[in-house]
Amino acid sequence: MTITRHFVDIGGRQVHYRRVGSGPPVILLHPSPQSGAFSVPMALRLAKHFTAICMDTPGYGLSDPLPPETVYPTHPDHGLDPYVEPLRRFMDALGLETAAIYGNATGAELAHIFAYAHPERTAVCMIDSAGDRSDAENDELIDGYFPDVTPRRDGGHLLTHWDMVRSLSLFAPWQKSDGAHRLDIDMPSPAAIHEKMLDYLRAGPDYPRAYRPAFYTAKNRLIRRLTVPATLTRWEGKPNLPEVDALIAKGLPENITILHAGPTMDARLAASEQYLIERYLPGAKAAPPAPEQIDRAAPRLQKMFIDVSDKDVPGGQLLAHVCLAGHGTPILGLHDPAGSSRRLTAFLNGYVGKRPVIALDLPNSGESDKLLVPAEITIEAYAQHVAAALDALQIPAVDAIGRYSGGQVAMELARLRPGAVKHIVHAGIMLFNDAERAELLANYTPSIAPRWDGGHLVTAWAALRDMSLFWPWYNRTRSGVMRRDPAIDAVSLDARVQDLLKIGDTYRNAYAASFTYPMAERLKACDVPTLAVEFAGTGAHARLAFAKAAAPQIRTADLPEDARAWPALFGELFAS
Mean pLDDT score, 512-526: 96
CA distances in angstroms from 43 to 2, 38, 39, 413, 545, listed in the order given: 11, 10, 6, 37, 55
Interior/surface letters 286-321, b for 16+ CB within 10 angstroms, e for the rest: ebeebeebbeeeeeebbbbbbebeeeebeebbbbbb
Q: pLDDT tens digits for 368-422?
A: 999 999 999 999 999 999 999 999 999 999 999 999 999 999 999 999 999 999 9
DSSP 424-456: EEEES-----HHHHHHHHHHS-------TTSHH
Which amino acid, one-letter code, is at 213? P
* Cα 27-28-34 angle, rounded to 5 deg: 140
Residue 241 or residue 447, greater confidence: 447
Q: pLDDT tens digits for 164-208?
A: 999 999 999 999 999 999 999 999 999 999 999 999 999 999 999
- φ, ψ at 462 (rounded to 5°): -65, -40
What percent of the chain is modeled with pLDDT above 70? Answer: 99
What angle in degrees, to the nearest 10, is found between the helix axes of 507-516 and 405-416? Answer: 60
Instruction: Please check the confidence at residue 310 and state whether its pLDDT lies above 70.
Output: no
Q: pLDDT tens digits for 13-32?
A: 999 999 999 999 999 999 99
CA distances in angstroms from 376 to 220, 370, 382, 484, 512, listed in the order given: 54, 11, 10, 36, 11
- pLDDT for 353 equals 94
Q: pLDDT tens digits for 416-471?
A: 999 999 999 999 999 999 999 999 999 999 999 999 999 999 999 999 999 999 99
Instruction: Please check the confidence at residue 304 and state whether its pLDDT lies above 80.
Output: yes
Half-sphere exposure of 71 (CA within 13 A, CB side): 4
The edge-to-edge listing of strands for the beta sheet with 4-10 is 4-10, 13-21, 51-55, 25-29, 99-104, 122-128, 230-235, 256-261
- pLDDT for 240 equals 84
Closest by CA to 321, choosing from 389, 372, 407, 397, is 389
Half-sphere exposure of 490 (CA within 13 A, CB side): 12
If DSSP codes are grouped into helix, strand and coil, which group holds residue 401?
strand
CA distances in angstroms from 252 to 247, 256, 257, 274, listed in the order given: 8, 7, 9, 21
pLDDT band for 312, please (50, 70, 90 cuts): low
- φ, ψ at 226 (rounded to 5°): -60, 140
For residues 400 and 417, what is the distance between their CA atoms, to the nearest angstrom? 13
pLDDT band for 537, please (50, 70, 90 cuts): confident
User: Would the pTM of this model clear 0.85, i.e. be above it?
Assistant: yes
The pairing of strands 122-128 and 230-235 is parallel
For residues 385 and 402, what is the distance between their CA atoms, to the nearest angstrom? 15
What percent of the chain is modeled with pLDDT above 90? Answer: 94
Mean pLDDT score, 95-119: 98
Mean pLDDT score, 200-229: 97
If DSSP codes are grouped into helix, strand and coil, which group holds residue 30?
coil
Instruction: Please check the confidence at residue 314 and state whether its pLDDT lies above 80.
Output: no
- pLDDT for 486 equals 86
- Report H helices in 342-467: 345-348, 379-392, 405-416, 434-443, 455-467
For residues 268 and 233, what is the distance between their CA atoms, to the nearest angstrom? 8
Closest by CA to 33, choosing from 241, 182, 179, 214, is 214
Mean pLDDT score, 148-173: 97
For residues 380 and 362, what is the distance between their CA atoms, to the nearest angstrom? 12
For residues 39 and 28, what is the distance between their CA atoms, to the nearest angstrom? 6
Mean pLDDT score, 32-46: 98
